[in-house]
Amino acid sequence: MTKRSITEAIVRGKRVLGRVDFNVPMRNGAIEDDSRIAAALPTIQWLVKNGARVILCSHLGRPKGKVVDDLRLTPVAQRLAELLGQPVTALRDITGPAVSASVEDLTDSDVVLLENVRFDPREEANDPSLARELADLADLYVNDAFGAAHRAHASTEGVAHSVPAYLGLLMQAEIDALTHLLDAPDRPFVAIVGGAKVSDKIGVLKHLLPLVDSLLIGGGMANTFLRAQGHAVGKSLVEPDLVSVASELMQSAAVREVEIVLPTDVVVAPSIDATAGEVRPTSEVGGDSAIFDIGPESARRYAKVIASARTVFWNGPLGVTENKVFAGGTAAVAEAVARSSAYTVLGGGDSVAAIEQLGLADRIAHISTGGGASLEFLEGKSLPGIAVIPENA
Ligand code: ADP
Ligand code: MG
């Protein structure tokens, strides 16, 4: 069964409410990275080309139900206008008389952007009254905000109950890429999971384990696995409560003949802001130092496993990439993934930032725009923003 796509709808002259993910990183009022805006362009351009009256809606940051001037969407509307090559009006409200009046004034192919939808406390509460007000602005609704699809909010879920709802092109591309990993991966299928904590990724580790051939583990979460193997990890980030879960995962992998690969050497330092690290075998981490990256021998071994893969999923950096002293493991793995001829999928805010910084993003088959959403999808969970869109007749 496939979900209804916006490209199957007749949109000319219709008011189309498009939920997009314009939650871009901002610094001092400027957009640091506009890739999320760029990712929403195919759907917006399709709507414009087909004569829709386009009303876009997004959140930005965490205003927690209050108006926060620094989180207004005005700079986003400006950047979108540049990328789109046509004016985009930034409205000062989400709903209400002024918004309704602006929407009434729209002509075909016009684009307006509602104010940050999380300024309204009813958004995150999925309050039906906000869903109704949003639905009343439009004839059709399209959800293209994959990054927010795991949240049942008024603009991502509630609204779709009151107006004919469709998937956008980005949403469809994300669903296709992630479904391919779960349903039909070419083998060997290698998953690389890093990042800070086992607790953030435990769902995805459990769900992917029976599906993959090899699971390469790095980042802070590797420490909990190393502890489960009986290694002393000094002052490293460890989750003691999850050592037993790590042991269970390793046992379950052994039974299924899935290879879990852990670092055999690591980069240690006295603190996270150290200006130099020291490479040590995993078995020799001193009591007063901490692990901040996988070592070069481990990176080579991971690269070798990746080179033989035909499907790769990667989430989470292998070390503390914020400090360049600890960015080597992630860079080596990124190189290997970029060089691979496998179908490669990358998700996760920090891992995506790392690969973009390395200039390797265009060598990845699919970069997910949703960190949390892609993890929940790969955990096998139903995402409310997708579930609410009707199946094709
Ligand atoms: P993503 O955003 O790609 O999903 P996460 O948010 O899960 O990744 O993890 C990224 C964070 O993990 C970074 O802030 C990084 O500093 C941290 N991290 C990676 N390796 C370690 C480590 N060895 N010790 C402590 N923190 C780590
Ligand atoms: Mg992160």
Could you tell me the CATH number of the domain that includes residue 43? 3.40.50.1260
For the record, the structure tokens of 386 come out as: 């997708």
Average pLDDT over residues 120-133: 98
Domain final residue pick, 172, 197, 217: 172
Average pLDDT over residues 96-107: 98
Is residue 393 over pLDDT 80?
no
- Answer yes or no: do 226 and 307 share one domain: yes
- Answer yes or no: do 118 and 257 share one domain: no
For the record, the structure tokens of 223 come out as: 């420490």
Q: Using the mean position of ligand 1's atoms as its centre, give its distance from the Cα of residue 166 in Å.
A: 35
Catalytic residue of the set 3, 36, 122, 227: 36
- Answer yes or no: do 158 and 234 share one domain: no
Q: Number of folded domains in the chain?
A: 2
pLDDT of residue 99: 98
Confidence of residue 1 (pLDDT cuts 50, 70, 90): low
| Tens-place pLDDT, residues 219-254 | 999 999 999 999 999 999 999 999 999 999 999 999
For the record, the structure tokens of 292 come out as: 């901040």
How many angstroms separate the CA atoms of 31 and 24, rounded?
7
| Tens-place pLDDT, residues 341-376 | 999 999 998 999 999 999 999 999 999 999 999 999
Residue 292 CA, closest ligand 1 atom number: 23
Domain final residue pick, 147, 172, 197: 172
349 lines ligand 1 (CB under 6 A): yes
| Tens-place pLDDT, residues 302-322 | 999 999 999 999 999 999 999
* Inside any domain, residue 177: no
**Whether residue 218 lies in the annotated active site:** no
Helix and strand counts by DSSP (H, E) for the chain:
14, 17
152 lines ligand 1 (CB under 6 A): no
Catalytic residue of the set 197, 280, 310, 363: 197
For the record, the structure tokens of 141 come out as: 């609704």
**3 state SS of 13:** coil
* Inside any domain, residue 134: yes
- Answer yes or no: do 116 and 161 share one domain: yes
Phi (first) and psi of residue 57, to 5 degrees: -145, 135
How many angstroms separate the CA atoms of 22 and 91, rounded?
15
* Inside any domain, residue 1: no
Domain that holds residue 92: 6-172
Nearest to 312 by CA among 357, 248, 355, 283: 355
**Type and span of the H or E element at 292:** strand 290-294
- Answer yes or no: do 22 and 160 share one domain: yes
Residue with token string 């020799």: 284
What residue owns the CA closest to ligand 1's atom 9? 195
* Inside any domain, residue 143: yes
Other CB atoms within a 10 A radius of the CB of residue 109 amount to 16
- Distance from CA of residue 300 to its chain's centroid? 27
How many angstroms separate the CA atoms of 7 and 262, rounded?
45
Average pLDDT over residues 107-125: 98
Q: Using the mean position of ligand 1's atoms as its centre, give its distance from the Cα of residue 238 in Å.
A: 12
- Answer yes or no: do 251 and 117 share one domain: no
- Answer yes or no: do 92 and 133 share one domain: yes
Residue 223 CA, closest ligand 1 atom number: 23
Residue with token string 């603009």: 155
The residue type at 44: I
Determine the residue of 200, 235, 320 to mutate for testing ligand 1's pocket, defined as the one with the most ligand atoms within 8 A of the Cβ atom: 320
First-to-final CA distance of the chain: 9
* Inside any domain, residue 116: yes
**Whether residue 197 lies in the annotated active site:** yes
- Answer yes or no: do 214 and 135 share one domain: no
- Answer yes or no: do 358 and 291 share one domain: yes
- Answer yes or no: do 138 and 212 share one domain: no
* Inside any domain, residue 11: yes
Taking each helix axis from N to C end, the angle separating 296-307 and 328-339, rounded to the nearest 10 degrees, works out to: 20
Taking each helix axis from N to C end, the angle separating 198-208 and 220-228, rounded to the nearest 10 degrees, works out to: 70
- Answer yes or no: do 306 and 366 share one domain: yes
Average pLDDT, the chain: 97
**Type and span of the H or E element at 371:** helix 371-378
- Answer yes or no: do 159 and 274 share one domain: no
Q: Using the mean position of ligand 1's atoms as its centre, give its distance from the Cα of residue 150 in Å.
A: 21
Residue with token string 């952007």: 113
| Tens-place pLDDT, residues 180-217 | 999 999 999 999 999 999 999 999 999 999 999 999 99
* Inside any domain, residue 220: yes
351 lines ligand 1 (CB under 6 A): yes
pLDDT of residue 286: 81
For the record, the structure tokens of 26 come out as: 């901002």
* Inside any domain, residue 385: no
Do the strands 290-294 and 311-315 form a parallel or antiparallel pair, or are they unpaired? unpaired
Domain final residue pick, 140, 172, 204: 172
Please, which residues bridge with residue 313 across strands? 191, 345
How many angstroms separate the CA atoms of 144 and 385, rounded?
9
Is residue 390 within 8 Å of 165, Cβ to Cβ?
yes
Q: Using the mean position of ligand 2's atoms as its centre, give its distance from the Cα of residue 196 in Å.
A: 8
**Whether residue 147 lies in the annotated active site:** no
Is residue 258 over pLDDT 80?
yes
Is residue 43 within 8 Å of 170, Cβ to Cβ?
yes
**Whether residue 14 lies in the annotated active site:** no
